[in-house]
Amino acid sequence: MSLARAIETGDLTQLPSRRDEDWRWTDLRGLVRVLPAPSPAAVASPPAGPFASLDATQITVVNGRGPGRLITAAGTRQTVTLNFVATQQAGSHAARLAIEVQEGADLVLLESYEGQGADYVVQADLNITLGRGARLERIVIADDSPDAVSVSAAHVVLGEHATFAQTVLASGAKRQRLETRVSHPGGGASARLDGLYLLGDRRHADITTVVTHAGVDGATDQLVKGVVRDQARGVFQGRIVVSPGADKTDARMGHHALILSDKAEVDAKPELEIYADDVVCAHGNTVGALDEEALFYAKARGIADAEARAMLTQAFLDQVVDRIGHDGAREIARAWVARQLGAAR
């Protein structure tokens, strides 16, 4: 069951539906009754993407067409922007990319999704492998059109002593899903799986992560925060599985959301499945409103209501942004959050 398979075969019964546990809050089969026509090859030159100002190798995947493989060779360092674009003419398309970060290599992947058209239906699949001691920092900005259906699914396989750090930023779409599945060998490897969603109007964003710890001595750390307003809906599904024998696993998961309107909704399912002994696992999940005390304090000092709310909301989300390791990407992410907040005021 996947959107990509439905797009490639034209068979709508391949769409994930609410009967699939992992898709219960992002039902595509009930939503997509007719697939748009396959996207044509692009004619115009694609936009430069949100990370264009940074010094990086640029890869663009337009209407599903782009290179199939990215390799960062053993012992080398690389910064790459990977910009997925659905053009004005886009209908439906699926893209596949294999990313290999070889032993001891270091890759900063600055990934983005943007749509110029309206109601496209697309999926991008990334197969990512990290060799022994390899490092990958992946920062994703997903800026789809409001009427789009857009799924990004990454499968990440970590080698021993590999470091994987990820931050996804989602502004939602008709349905937008950023899914990451990590095979974690333990063995001194670590994963950070952060994210934030900032949604207005009727937008929907789904951040889903699954981490499977297979061996001893692995670490996973996760902080996801969300802000929903208007009639938007945020979904967070986080699952950390500690397999039998994966002792000394250290896994921490936090999801915190602000609901800023009566009609907005957040659905959260944090899950820790622990089958090993001697592990440190913790999770926290909170959903609430802005702190009225802080709001009054700011207003009493002269800050007007809308500005005070934006300031407190940005501070709430900045705690995710602050954890981004790459300096340039961190500031681009911070500005992106500020822009989204300003636009939604």
Partner 1 sequence: MLSIKNLHVSVDGKSILDGLTLDIAAGEIHAVMGPNGAGKSTLSYALAGRPGYEVTAGSVTLDGEDLLGLEPNERAARGLFLSFQYPTEIPGVPALTFVRTALNAQHKARGEAEVSAPDFLRLVRGKAKALKIDFDMLKRGLNVGFSGGEKKRMEILQMSVLSPRLAILDETDSGLDIDALRIVAEGVNAMRSADRAMLVITHYQRLLDHIRPDRVHVLAGGRIVASGGPELAHDLEREGYDKYASLAA
Which of 191, 266, 268, 298 is close enough to bind partner 1 by CB under 8 A?
298
- Between 162 and 298, name the residue whose CB sits nearer to partner 1: 298
Which of 71, 239, 319, 330 is close enough to bind partner 1 by CB under 8 A?
319
User: By the 8 A CB rule, do 227 and 313 touch?
Assistant: yes
Reduce the DSSP state of residue 88 to 3 states and report it. Answer: coil
Q: What is the DSSP letter of 215?
A: S
Stretch near partner 1 under the rule CB under 8 A, chosen from 94-102, 116-124, 145-153, 285-293: 285-293
Shortest spacing between CB 199 and partner 1, in angstroms:
20
d(CA 336, CA 78): 24
Shortest spacing between CB 301 and partner 1, in angstroms:
4
Residue 294, interface with partner 1 (CB under 8 A)?
Answer: yes
d(CA 120, CA 96): 17
Residue 304, interface with partner 1 (CB under 8 A)?
Answer: yes
Residue 315, interface with partner 1 (CB under 8 A)?
Answer: yes
DSSP string of 161-176, one letter each residue: T-EEEEEEEE--BSEE
- Between 248 and 334, name the residue whose CB sits nearer to partner 1: 334
- Between 34 and 300, name the residue whose CB sits nearer to partner 1: 300
Residue 312, interface with partner 1 (CB under 8 A)?
Answer: yes
Stretch near partner 1 under the rule CB under 8 A, chosen from 39-47, 90-98, 167-175, 293-301: 293-301
Other beta carbons within 10 angstroms of residue 157's beta carbon come to 16
**For residue 3, which phi and psi values (nearest 5 degrees)?**
-65, -40
Residue 271, interface with partner 1 (CB under 8 A)?
Answer: no
- Between 293 and 327, name the residue whose CB sits nearer to partner 1: 293
Residue 311, interface with partner 1 (CB under 8 A)?
Answer: yes
Residues 6+ apart with CB under 8 A from 181: 153, 154, 155, 156, 209, 210, 211, 212
Per the rule left: phi > 0, alpha: psi between -120 and 50, beta: everything else, 49 is left
Residue 293, interface with partner 1 (CB under 8 A)?
Answer: yes
Stretch near partner 1 under the rule CB under 8 A, chosen from 78-86, 184-192, 214-222, 301-309: 301-309
Which of 11, 201, 271, 305 is close enough to bind partner 1 by CB under 8 A?
305
**How many chain residues interact with partner 1 (CB under 8 A)?**
23
Residue 323, interface with partner 1 (CB under 8 A)?
Answer: no
Residue 178, interface with partner 1 (CB under 8 A)?
Answer: no
Residues 6+ apart with CB under 8 A from 78: 57, 72, 105, 106, 107, 108
Q: Which residues pair with 210 in a beta bridge?
A: 181, 239
**For residue 117, which phi and psi values (nearest 5 degrees)?**
-90, -165
Residues lying near partner 1 in the complex (CB under 8 A) are found at 291-294, 296-305, 307-308, 311-312, 314-316, 318-319
